[in-house]
Structure 1
Amino acid sequence: MFNITQMFVLFWFRKSQAKSEELLRKNDPNYDTLGFICCRVTIQGESVEIGNVHIECRKSQWDANTQQIMGKSPEIKRHNKRLAEVKVKLERIFDMLQIDYEHVAPSLVKDFFTEKRLFRFTIQQLISEYFKDKQVDVKEGRITQDTVDVQKNYSNNLIQYLQDENLLSRLPRSYDGNIVAGFRRYLLEIKGFGKPHTYKHTVWLKSLFKHSLNEKRLRMNPIEKYPIGSDNTKIDTTHITVEQLSQLALFDFYDLARKGFIAEQTAKTCDLERDAFVFNCFSGMHHVDYKNKAFRVESYKGDLFLKGTRQKTQEEFMVKLLEPAQAIFTKYGGQIINLPIKSNQKRNATLKQIAVLVGIPVVLSTKIARKTFADIALNELLMDIQDVAVCLGLKNSRYLKHYARIREKRLAAKMRSWNDILKFA
């Protein structure tokens, strides 16, 4: 049988020893005394006091059974969150100490918790602790799981690079610009990544070290001053034109099947994916929000409005559905659940095939649909920039530059003739 050692964390209420509090308790036996929350850890029957965790409350507020302060005020919520953080930190320290020590004494846990002694983290341990923190952020709604999953891919590529270069055993404190530059070359030359994707990897690497320093897992950040520049690429606002979108919306894939150019199943797949793509060209939704069906369709004065909250930013979005989008919605019974969905990878693979079949000289993707919406709203419908940002669920209109740019058509319609200005001068 395995002998699994456990550590128990206990929080408890300690009365204040201030003379004023002692006097109040002496004069009134029912006085709700003020006190502090303290902590102790126990391992195999051996205990040690961690001490005051710097949280003050009344005795009546402390619930020893739930190990929480009772109440719903913002201050109490912050206190309970602090208690949870202390418990998690102690448990992490205990887990890591068990790797290096056959027996972990409570006093050893205390030394590392109070930072009398410090860990010498490996890069893999830094990454592991980093993602434990990020899962807390996901749970509390600060970031999405998709963001964490992308960052895990960055970390996997970093570990692979360090393994290939026999650098995995090197302590993080000895990292320098050469390692960061080597990682960048590895991504560009060995992995074949583009500059933007490589840039995101190096940004994440720097954030890993910065976060580790903030959490006191490192005494200093050895790559803090290493410049990573920018991705040096022009913002890609590729979209399809109104003519191309109309051509795609009306294209009959089943006619190609009847003529023997493609299989019946291929026609069905393309028809479904075309509908999803065109719908998003008129809704502007991100693939994740569309796939999760995290939106609703409501009627307002005879028009249909699509509304939802972006998973990535938690920003609300809202857009009026124009006729082609309404037609697709009706085609699927006016039910959101019936709209066709696929994974992002499978959608993009089918969209490339569709572009060839329809004769559209653009490498179609889910991102192209969102950028097409932005271009139509900005340059065809001449909507205000802030309104377009609201439709896309952006936090700020300045992020709109990543989706569309102002074209001549908008300026031609917006800018009046000089002669017209003179008439009213």
Structure 2
Amino acid sequence: MLEKSFALLYFLKQSKTGGSKKYIYLRITVDGHPVEVSTKKQWWENRWDQENGRVSGTKPDAQELNFFLGTLENKVFQARKKLIEDDELITAEALRDLVTGKDARKMILEVFADHNRQMEALVGKDYADGTLERYITSYEHTKAFIQWQYLADDLYIRKLDHFFIEQYAFWLKTVRNCNHNTTMKYLSNFKKIVLICVKNKWLPGDPFANFKMTKKTVIREPISEWELEAMISKDFENDRLNHVRDIFVFSCYTGLAYADVKKLKRSEIEKGVDGEQWIFTPRQKTDAPCSIPLLPVALQLLGKYAHHPKCVNQDRVLPVLTNQKMNAYLKEIADLCGIKKVLTFHLARHTFATTITLSNGVPIETVSKMLGHSTIKQTQHYAKILHIKISADMASLREKYAVIAPQPAKQYTELQLEPVKQSSPLPKYNYVFVVS
């Protein structure tokens, strides 16, 4: 990609230690942005031609140095030609790196793979297994996109631009059939890799700068009370389904996410301030502490699996399968229980926030604390007030106003709107009650 302006200039710069000689520097300026390159050569100021950027005189040492400066200048032009041939963005940094040999020709997937290797080494310390899995999947998507769009196994980092990001988003939504929010998650993972390149100055700017990373609000309807009861009372012929159902129900009554249920240790079940059994555990995702009083159903499930070999040998409270298997079995459980919702393990956390707690009068501040959230706003994402809760909350208000109503409220069965004839250009409406 051609630049708008390009200039080279040699100049002298005083060394930090002083002395009679000064260092010769080359300034490369592209589109008004300069970088300086040291030639490692020194010369006297009184024998320097600043206008031409060359050494003055015809002595052998002057001729030799001028030849060197000309050769270096020619290398810059060759580097510029190389960038043009490779259809790469021409920047002062790119030219400097090519000339000095510091350009490692960093590749996108190479940097991505290095990032994932470092993340893998930090799993259990700074990152969860699930986080690593998401970045591995994101790497595979990026690799497939580069092959699809550029017919290449990898791409130079300098090829990253706004067009790349737009096409990647298009590919995720069409070829991979990802929904909008999933697409944004993969792009968010990739953006982390891009920012690594920007911070290391392998990339002159952020290609995400003018790309809108927005997420659409998704309303996840939690499991209702009757649906939860249907699951609990159902005796499946397949023991594995009973097993998965139990772990899902445990999460519905504790609000723990999949990763937190899987890592929950026996030592994290202790007596709370009320003398009852509580869960005291940090969230794997954020390390935020969770303090959750155990409800009877959850306690019963803990007792059921207390002597399970996996729980005994691994110091766990429940024998949790992989998230993929859990979700596969949950779909089968939903069908057998007549539940029309798309059942995933994470829906249990929403169910705890809404059906189990808020709908039964537990304050949102308390729910937020049990979920391990740092702000109420996070909890509001999980907690959706059900119609049955709205009905219960409005019942007393309905009774209060029924006393002063002109006729018994139960006699009003319809509410119609009829336009009122008037001179005003804007129609107004009167409420007309139809009494049964």
TM-score category (smaller protein): 0.5 to 0.7
Residue 173 of structure 2 is aligned to residue 188 of structure 1: yes
Higher Cα Rg, which structure: 2
| Partner residue in 1 for 2:35 | none
Secondary structure of 1:324's counterpart equals helix
CA distance in 2, matches of 1:344, 1:187: 23
Secondary structure of 2:278's counterpart equals strand
> In structure 2, which of residues 85, 90, 102 is the aligned counterpart of residue 117 of structure 1?
102
| Partner residue in 2 for 1:382 | 361
> In structure 2, which of residues 246, 266, 269 is the aligned counterpart of residue 297 of structure 1?
269
Identical amino acids, percent of aligned pairs: 22
CA distance in 1, matches of 2:154, 2:359: 57
> In structure 2, which of residues 240, 263, 283 is the aligned counterpart of residue 269 of structure 1?
240
CA distance in 2, matches of 1:351, 1:419: 42
CA distance in 2, matches of 1:274, 1:316: 26
Provide, for residues 270-316 of structure 1, a one-character-per-residue CA deviation record: whole Å limited to 9, x for no partner. 11111111111101111111112346222344522122111111011
CA distance in 1, matches of 2:304, 2:154: 59
Q: 1:138: Cα distance to partner? A: 4.6
Q: Is the 8 A contact 2:223 2:355 kept in 1?
A: no
Secondary structure of 1:365's counterpart equals coil
> In structure 1, which of residues 176, 200, 203 is the aligned counterpart of residue 185 of structure 2?
200
Q: Is the 8 A contact 1:277 1:366 kept in 2?
A: yes
In the alignment, residue 227 of structure 2 is paired with which amino acid? Q
CA distance in 2, matches of 1:124, 1:299: 50
> In structure 1, which of residues 226, 247, 262 is the aligned counterpart of residue 210 of structure 2?
226
| Partner residue in 1 for 2:19 | none
Q: Is the 8 A contact 2:255 2:348 kept in 1?
A: yes
Report the aligned-residue RMSD: 3.0
| Partner residue in 1 for 2:321 | 342
Provide, for residues 79-137 of structure 1, a one-character-per-residue CA deviation record: whole Å limited to 9, x for no partner. xxxxxxxxxxxxxxxxxxxxxxxxxxxxxxxx99xx99343311122213433554576
| Partner residue in 2 for 1:249 | 232
In the alignment, residue 185 of structure 2 is paired with which amino acid? K
Matches within 5 A, 1:9-408: 117-135=102-120, 138=123, 141-165=125-149, 166-214=151-199, 216-231=200-215, 233-253=216-236, 257=237, 266=238, 268-294=239-265, 296-300=268-272, 301-333=274-306, 337=316, 339-408=318-387
Q: 1:401: Cα distance to partner? A: 3.0
In the alignment, residue 299 of structure 2 is paired with which amino acid? Q
How has the CA–CA distance of structure 1 residues 225 and 303 changed in structure 2, closer, same or farther, with 3 Å as cutoff?
A: same
TM-score computed with the length of structure 1 as normaliser: 0.62
CA distance in 2, matches of 1:372, 1:173: 47
Q: Is the 8 A contact 1:235 1:402 kept in 2?
A: no
Gaps spanning 5+ residues in structure 2: where?
1-95, 402-436
Secondary structure of 1:283's counterpart equals coil
How has the CA–CA distance of structure 1 residues 123 and 278 changed in structure 2, closer, same or farther, with 3 Å as cutoff?
A: same
TM-score computed with the length of structure 2 as normaliser: 0.61
CA distance in 1, matches of 2:317, 2:118: 37
How has the CA–CA distance of structure 1 residues 251 and 135 changed in structure 2, closer, same or farther, with 3 Å as cutoff?
A: closer
Worse-superposed segment, 334-343 or 161-170: 334-343
